[in-house]
A = this chain, B = another copy of it.
Amino acid sequence: MKTEIRLSGSGGQGLILAGIILAEGAILSNLNAVQSQSYGPEARGGASKSEVILSNKYINFPKVVKSDILISLTQKSFDEYSKDVRNNSIIIIDSGIDIKDNSNPNIYKVPILNTAKEVMKKPMTANIITLGVISSVLRYIDVEHIKYAINNRVPKGTQELNIQAFEEGRKLGSMFLKH
């Protein structure tokens, strides 16, 4: 089993941290994990990405080539990275993103940024809400392990807020993603 996940958006949305937490949750669930970010010409253009590869085997090539799961929180990052997905890839995007091609049944629009702003009242929690959404498809990672990693990695004083954001993300996952 190997799952390649790309979290994309704009700089400052906290997706590096989301990737680190996901990787830590995975290793607590006895998987191997690599988390990385590349900075190149595309980063200079404003689309940012954080990648996580999970496997029950040793991970040889740690960079995502084509993703099994793509998350995009911004139009720019969706336009950039939706080209590099596998055929049966799960694509989870923020509701605000415009899809030109509606024929792909594996694209799920989820109101992540709106939930951060209107439900959590903290736009900065979008990254942890995103984690909650992803967790609802990554059944082989124990949810408690992701929560442990959240508590371990988010700034002190924001743990409770972020665990709430994670639970909001899980609700979105169960409402908007077909299983």
The residues of A with any CB-CB pair to B shorter than 8 Å are 16, 20, 23-24, 26-27, 32-41, 43-44, 58-59, 61-63, 155
Q: A34-B63, A63-B34, A155-B155 are in contact. Are A40 and B20 (CB under 8 A)?
A: no
Asked if A36 contacts B39 (CB within 8 A), the reply is no
Asked if B36 contacts A35 (CB within 8 A), the reply is yes
Contact for A62 among B23, B33, B38, CB less than 8 A: B38
Contact for A44 among B27, B43, B63, CB less than 8 A: B27
Q: Cβ of A23: which chain B residues have Cβ within 8 Å of it?
A: 37, 39
Asked if A20 contacts B27 (CB within 8 A), the reply is no
Minimum distance in angstroms from A26 CB to a CB of chain B: 7
Interface SS of A by simple majority: mixed
Q: A27-B43, A44-B27, A155-B155 are in contact. Are A37 and B63 (CB under 8 A)?
A: no
Asked if B20 contacts A16 (CB within 8 A), the reply is yes
Ranked nearest first, the 3 interchain pairs of A and B with the lowest CB-CB distance are: A36-B36, A27-B39, A33-B39
Asked if B59 contacts A62 (CB within 8 A), the reply is no
Asked if B37 contacts A20 (CB within 8 A), the reply is yes
Asked if A37 contacts B37 (CB within 8 A), the reply is no
Expressed in whole angstroms, the Cα–Cα distance for A93 and B75 within the complex equals 44
> Could you jot down 18 A-B contacts, CB within 8 Å?
A16-B20, A23-B37, A26-B39, A27-B40, A32-B39, A32-B40, A33-B40, A34-B39, A34-B63, A35-B37, A36-B37, A38-B59, A38-B62, A40-B58, A40-B59, A62-B63, A63-B63, A155-B155
Expressed in whole angstroms, the Cα–Cα distance for A43 and B35 within the complex equals 13
